[in-house]
Amino acid sequence: MGTPENIIVGSHVWIEDPEVAWIDGQVLKINGKDAEIETSDGKKAVANLSKIFPKDMEALPDGVDDMTKLSYLHEPGVLQNLKARYELNKIYTYTGNVLIAINPFQKLPHIYGAQMMQQYKGVPLGELSPHVFAIAGVAYRAMVNEGKNNSILVSGESGAGKTETTKLLMQFLAFLGGRAVTEGRTVEQQVLESNPVLEAFGNAKTVRNNNSSRFGKFVEIQFDKSGRISGAAIRTYLLERSRVCQVNDPERNYHCFYLLCAAPQEEIEKYKLGNPKLFHYLNQSQCYELADVNDAHEYLATCRAMGIVGISQKDQVFLSQARI
Ligand SMILES: Nc1ncnc2c1ncn2[C@@H]1O[C@H](COP(=O)(O)OP(=O)(O)OP(=O)(O)O)[C@@H](O)[C@H]1O
């Protein structure tokens, strides 16, 4: 950590900045506990020595893939490293065996395809670039080798990418867990298809995230002794129930209501559905559509997913009626 003792006139340092969080600069003068700094945007600033952190002038411009390699493990050093990597589309960085992921807010199919899964299969942590598949791989191998349960904790603020990360972890674990065929469907297919079902009923557009999970979840994937997927269970917690009857602009109610309003014509007539603007629970907010989401297409995908996870046609009809 930066301590006032190792900062002298001429030192390169980081100071807090209201616009860019941290800005680098050079110490011009030290007066008691305060330092006068010329920042890299040409301005002068005065800051208390306890709020100034030394800058590593030998830091690699592309950053380091494990933050334990940083000379200074303080907030500006960590953020600078993540920023340098993010600018190169490197969204993953390790801190020891913890993976930091930065939301890329764009599709990066080249880092998640079948080829990547094959590449990360069986590879020890740290041998390849930091990746969510590497974390899933380590957890899987430890479980198989030690014969003990293992968990991966995914945390972050709303919109950080927890749901997407969890789906990628499940995808890779399903890839590692091989094929156990039951009733024509593979268990891993059922595990993966649980996501669209959960999202339809438990996700909604919020100010921060168009697909915000309004519940917590604990996903349990069960493996047999040889490491093949044998089953799964998903426990959900604390669904935000108030959203069903009260929605604030520009948020939306749960996706399932809009999907239902985009059902094929015969179902619209059968269940007396129609434009979402006609329903009080949906028209409290003027937001009805999501960018890049086709509700009619999602309706069919959700019905298909419900079938795959084992929700019968009869129960699907019941669910539709319950939603109305
Ligand atoms: N790895 C990723 N690749 C591409 N896009 C991503 C990735 N992670 C997140 N995103 C984008 O960011 C959006 C928000 O991510 P996500 O829904 O996973 O956040 P969250 O942490 O689960 O939020 P909440 O707590 O509100 O549910 C996604 O809908 C997606 O557009």
Which pLDDT band, with edges at 50, 70 and 90, does 64 fall under? very high
Taking residues 28-49, report their average pLDDT: 95
Residue of minimum CA distance from atom 25 in ligand 1: 158
Taking residues 281-289, report their average pLDDT: 96
* CB 195 near ligand 1, within 6 Å: no
**Is 2 annotated as ligand-binding?**
no
pLDDT digits (tens, 9 = 90+) for 131-163: 999 999 999 999 999 999 999 999 999 999 999
137 within 8 A of 172, measured Cβ to Cβ = yes
Pocket mutation for ligand 1, best pick of 209, 240, 243, 254 (most atoms within 8 Å of C-beta)? 209
Task: Look at residue 5 in the predicted model and tell me its pLDDT.
Answer: 59
Residue of minimum CA distance from atom 14 in ligand 1: 159
Q: How far is the CA of 106 from the centre of ligand 1 (A)?
A: 10
Q: Looking at the predicted structure, is the pLDDT value of residue 115 above 90?
A: yes
Q: How far is the CA of 287 from the centre of ligand 1 (A)?
A: 20
Position in ligand 1 atom list of the atom nearest CA 160:
21
Q: How far is the CA of 310 from the centre of ligand 1 (A)?
A: 27
**Is 32 annotated as ligand-binding?**
no
Task: Look at residue 2 in the predicted model and tell me its pLDDT.
Answer: 45
ipTM of the shown complex: 0.99
**Is 184 annotated as ligand-binding?**
no
CA dist list (Å): 273 to 23, 55, 253, 294, 301: 55, 61, 16, 17, 19
Residue type, 51: K
Question: Cis (ω within 30 of 0) for the bond into 250?
Answer: yes
Taking residues 15-35, report their average pLDDT: 95
pLDDT digits (tens, 9 = 90+) for 203-259: 999 999 999 999 999 999 999 999 999 999 999 999 999 999 999 999 999 999 999
C-alpha to C-alpha distance for 137 and 142, rounded to whole angstroms:
9
User: Per residue in 63-90, is it b (16+ CB within 10 Å) or e — as a string?
Assistant: bbbbbeebebebebbbebbbebbeeeeb
In the chain, % of residues over pLDDT 70 = 96
* CB 89 near ligand 1, within 6 Å: no
C-alpha to C-alpha distance for 208 and 145, rounded to whole angstroms:
41
**Is 158 annotated as ligand-binding?**
yes
* CB 290 near ligand 1, within 6 Å: no
Q: Which backbone phi and psi does 228 adopt, to 5 degrees?
A: -90, 145
CA nearest to 130, candidates 66, 59, 86: 66
Pocket mutation for ligand 1, best pick of 211, 213, 236, 290 (most atoms within 8 Å of C-beta)? 211
Task: Look at residue 184 in the predicted model and tell me its pLDDT.
Answer: 60
Q: How far is the CA of 121 from the centre of ligand 1 (A)?
A: 24
pLDDT digits (tens, 9 = 90+) for 158-205: 999 999 999 999 999 999 997 656 556 788 888 899 999 999 999 999
Task: Look at residue 63 in the predicted model and tell me its pLDDT.
Answer: 96
C-alpha to C-alpha distance for 176 and 224, rounded to whole angstroms:
12
Domains of the chain (ranges; CATH) run 4-54 (2.30.30.360), 67-237 (3.40.850.10), 242-323 (1.10.10.820)
- Of the ranges 79-83, 292-296, 316-320, which one carries the lowest mean pLDDT score? 316-320
Strands (E), 190-294: 203-204, 212-213, 216-223, 229-237
